[in-house]
Chain A
Amino acid sequence: MSKKNISAAKQTKEDVNLKGTLIMVMILGVVILVFWFGIYGLFLSR
């Protein structure tokens, strides 16, 4: 990241940006589902 983009500014409740968090928790949910259904598939195949 270039230094130009770095400017400290304290976020408040009104302008808080949690887009990265949203994406990360979605990825987490997908990982859990992939694991579970992967093993469930194995269960059905045996």
Chain B
Amino acid sequence: METFKFSKKESRLYMSFMYVTFVSLLVGGLMGLLQTLVRSGKYKLPFNIDYYTILTTHGVILGLVLTTFFIVGFQFSLMGKTVGISDKQILWGWISFWVMLVGTVLAAWMILTGEASVLYTFYTPLRAHPIFYIGLALVIVGSWIAAIVNFRQLYVWKKAHKGEKSPLLAFMVVINMIMWVVASLGVAYSVVVLILPWSLGYVATVNVLLTRTLFWYFGHPLVYFWLLPAYMAWYAIIPKIIGGKLFSDSLARLSFILLLMFSIPVGFHHQLTEPGIDPTWKFIQVVLTFMVVVPTLMTAFSLFATFEITGRNKGHKTLFGWFKHLPWKDVRFLAPFIGMVAFIPGGAGGIINASHQVNSLVHNTIWVTGHFHLTIATTVILTYFGIAYWLIPHLTGRRLTPKLNKLGIIQTIVWTVGMAIMSTSMHIQGLLGGPRRSSFSEYAGGDQVSTWISYQVSQAVGGTILFIGIVLMVYIFIQLAFFAPRGYEDYPIAEEDLDLDTEKTPKILENWYLWIGVTIALILFAYTIPMIDIIKHSPPGSIPFDWPIGRS
């Protein structure tokens, strides 16, 4: 058995990101619970705490902080494992960690003191305290440092291994970080050049449509930035856990390249009701959005094939015998598997959201909140938990004991039940016209409103169950980090199946100039003309609004 271990220096760096991840889970999760309780209409926040403060905390801490810290830490460990990391790169890894952490603390300080109740989308003309924007900018800058370190790691490996294809997981990490850097340039420009001077009072007005468009230029690839690490685990780690091998190296690489190309020039599908954007360009970006379906279905096919081939190789010959014999009692498999299942309604809902006409049925309703709680808060987060069950003990030199494994299975079931209740009632309430974002209100009565309330109570029930799941997960994390018995936990990476995957991976799949070139060309095609329109024809800019939410 392989007994690979990271050096202490490496483990400490990767674990630091994990500590922030799980503190964020607890804080952000508590805010989520409070939100659902308030929206049930049966509970009022104490100490004059504003609903929009906790809503912003929930979104920023879970959507931006937890995800970015987990992803950067996990990806650093993948790079360290597959291509290695030098002392200098570890130092830069630490710099990235501290820059991100300082940014997080600054943003959190502003949100918690009510100076930045602008939700995680920080739409103008709502204005937050300038320190909030500086904090967000620092989180992004810190992640860019991590990206540059990752690029350098692969570059150094390639120089030492001339003519060899890069390890699959290193390739995937670099794709994700290229996408992240290209996408976050837009939001960084918006925050630093447009919003910050306006929030400081140096300029009087801001172009609202431009800042919203730049946010969604970033906001959609952001969801793929969350999802791709889950795909990394599905393609290259889950096969090892179930006792199988990688289905196809080329298919996995091609699907990541397609995700890089088609996840950025698609932001308009979040702005389908936005006035000021030509419908032709909305249509074009909707078409590009639908291209993302291709790599997603390639992934689904590859996963089913991995499961079936592994089962059949173990001797389960009936049509679905392979399915019954998957390792259901191994939480490292079960949690990500349920994540995969949640992606079926999650993905189907995504196709509905992105369809121009049908979007009008669900736009700005709580259906959308139900949708992203299936995708990010189930598919992605359950896969992250699945990773944590082996990554944390591997880093701390401990073991996932049978007892902790069992607790993990209970946690996964609790999460699944809680989310099924909460997300389903959000979807239904959304179809009945229930709005997202807003605090509890009876909107001065009305027949339609009365149909919403029972669903909001269901959401509070689901939210409460989910919070129990969060407490369980944090307990498991603390055990794995500090108290589980000393030992060795495998870092599972699947090998290629040379009997089945006999074709050599085409060299063109690693032609970075080509794929980055196509990505940039697609972005320029999808955004240049509408951006010129937006800048030339926008109405006068808006002065800042600190009220009714913003800076209270």
Residues in A lying within 8 Å of B, measured CB to CB: 1, 5-13, 16-21, 23-25, 28, 31-32, 35-36, 39-40, 42-43, 46
Q: List 4 tightest A-B contacts by C-beta distance, closest first.
A: A6-B315, A35-B348, A21-B304, A8-B315
Q: How many angstroms from the CA of A46 to the CA of B324 in the assembled complex?
A: 43
Q: How many angstroms from the CA of A21 to the CA of B312 in the assembled complex?
A: 12
Asked if B297 and A42 make an inter-chain contact with CB atoms under 8 angstroms apart, the answer reads: no
> Inside 8 A of B300's CB, which chain A residues have their CB?
25, 28
Flag the segment in B181-189, B253-261, B352-360, B485-493 that touches A.
B352-360
> Inside 8 A of B502's CB, which chain A residues have their CB?
13
Nearest CB to that of A27 among chain B residues? B344
A16's contact among B309, B321, B324, B348, by CB below 8 Å, is which?
Answer: B309
Any A CB within 8 A of the CB of B500:
yes
Any A CB within 8 A of the CB of B499:
yes
Nearest CB to that of B317 among chain A residues? A5
Q: How many angstroms from the CA of A24 to the CA of B305 in the assembled complex?
A: 10
Asked if A31 and B344 make an inter-chain contact with CB atoms under 8 angstroms apart, the answer reads: yes
Q: From residue 309 to 325 of chain B, which have CB atoms closer than 8 A to chain A?
A: 309, 312-325
Asked if A1 and B313 make an inter-chain contact with CB atoms under 8 angstroms apart, the answer reads: no
Any A CB within 8 A of the CB of B431:
yes
B348's contact among A5, A6, A21, A36, by CB below 8 Å, is which?
Answer: A36
A20's contact among B323, B344, B345, B352, by CB below 8 Å, is which?
Answer: B323
> Inside 8 A of A12's CB, which chain B residues have their CB?
499-500
> Inside 8 A of A10's CB, which chain B residues have their CB?
313, 499
A42's contact among B309, B347, B351, B361, by CB below 8 Å, is which?
Answer: B361
Q: A6-B316, A35-B349 are in contact. List 4 more A-B contacts (CB 8 A).
A: A23-B319, A28-B297, A31-B348, A36-B348
Quote the shortest CB–CB distance from B469 to chain A (angstroms): 26
Quote the shortest CB–CB distance from B447 to chain A (angstroms): 15
B358's contact among A23, A24, A39, by CB below 8 Å, is which?
Answer: A39
Mostly helix, strand, loop or mixed at chain B's interface?
helix
> Inside 8 A of B313's CB, which chain A residues have their CB?
8-11
Q: How many angstroms from the CA of A33 to the CA of B347 in the assembled complex?
A: 11
Q: How many angstroms from the CA of A20 to the CA of B308 in the assembled complex?
A: 7
Any A CB within 8 A of the CB of B301:
yes
Q: From residue 253 to 307 of chain B, which have CB atoms closer than 8 A to chain A?
A: 297, 300-301, 304-305
Asked if A5 and B305 make an inter-chain contact with CB atoms under 8 angstroms apart, the answer reads: no
A46's contact among B301, B352, B361, by CB below 8 Å, is which?
Answer: B361
Nearest CB to that of B501 among chain A residues? A13
Asked if B319 and A20 make an inter-chain contact with CB atoms under 8 angstroms apart, the answer reads: yes
Nearest CB to that of A1 among chain B residues? B321
Asked if A1 and B324 make an inter-chain contact with CB atoms under 8 angstroms apart, the answer reads: yes
> Inside 8 A of B322's CB, which chain A residues have their CB?
20
Quote the shortest CB–CB distance from B366 to chain A (angstroms): 15
22 A-B pairs, CB-CB below 8 angstroms? A1-B318, A5-B317, A6-B315, A6-B317, A8-B314, A8-B315, A9-B315, A10-B499, A11-B499, A13-B499, A13-B500, A20-B323, A23-B319, A25-B297, A25-B300, A25-B304, A31-B345, A32-B351, A36-B358, A39-B361, A42-B431, A43-B360
Asked if B352 and A36 make an inter-chain contact with CB atoms under 8 angstroms apart, the answer reads: yes
> Inside 8 A of B309's CB, which chain A residues have their CB?
11, 16, 18
> Inside 8 A of B319's CB, which chain A residues have their CB?
19-20, 23
> Inside 8 A of B324's CB, which chain A residues have their CB?
1
> Inside 8 A of B431's CB, which chain A residues have their CB?
39, 42
Quote the shortest CB–CB distance from B427 to chain A (angstroms): 10
Nearest CB to that of B367 among chain A residues? A39
> Inside 8 A of B352's CB, which chain A residues have their CB?
35-36, 39
> Inside 8 A of A43's CB, which chain B residues have their CB?
357-358, 360-361
Nearest CB to that of B362 among chain A residues? A39
Q: How many angstroms from the CA of A25 to the CA of B298 in the assembled complex?
A: 10
Asked if B301 and A25 make an inter-chain contact with CB atoms under 8 angstroms apart, the answer reads: yes
Q: How many angstroms from the CA of A35 to the CA of B352 in the assembled complex?
A: 8
Q: How many angstroms from the CA of A40 to the CA of B431 in the assembled complex?
A: 12
Q: How many angstroms from the CA of A31 to the CA of B347 in the assembled complex?
A: 10
Q: How many angstroms from the CA of A17 to the CA of B322 in the assembled complex?
A: 11
Nearest CB to that of A6 among chain B residues? B315
> Inside 8 A of B358's CB, which chain A residues have their CB?
36, 39-40, 43
Asked if B301 and A11 make an inter-chain contact with CB atoms under 8 angstroms apart, the answer reads: no
Asked if A11 and B315 make an inter-chain contact with CB atoms under 8 angstroms apart, the answer reads: no
Asked if B349 and A7 make an inter-chain contact with CB atoms under 8 angstroms apart, the answer reads: no
> Inside 8 A of B344's CB, which chain A residues have their CB?
28, 31-32
Asked if A18 and B308 make an inter-chain contact with CB atoms under 8 angstroms apart, the answer reads: yes
Asked if A18 and B361 make an inter-chain contact with CB atoms under 8 angstroms apart, the answer reads: no
Nearest CB to that of B360 among chain A residues? A43
Asked if A32 and B320 make an inter-chain contact with CB atoms under 8 angstroms apart, the answer reads: no
> Inside 8 A of A5's CB, which chain B residues have their CB?
315-318, 321
Asked if B500 and A11 make an inter-chain contact with CB atoms under 8 angstroms apart, the answer reads: yes
Given known contacts A1-B321, A16-B309, A32 and B315 CB-to-CB distance under 8 angstroms: no
Asked if B500 and A1 make an inter-chain contact with CB atoms under 8 angstroms apart, the answer reads: no
> Inside 8 A of B357's CB, which chain A residues have their CB?
43
> Inside 8 A of A25's CB, which chain B residues have their CB?
297, 300-301, 304
> Inside 8 A of A18's CB, which chain B residues have their CB?
305, 308-309
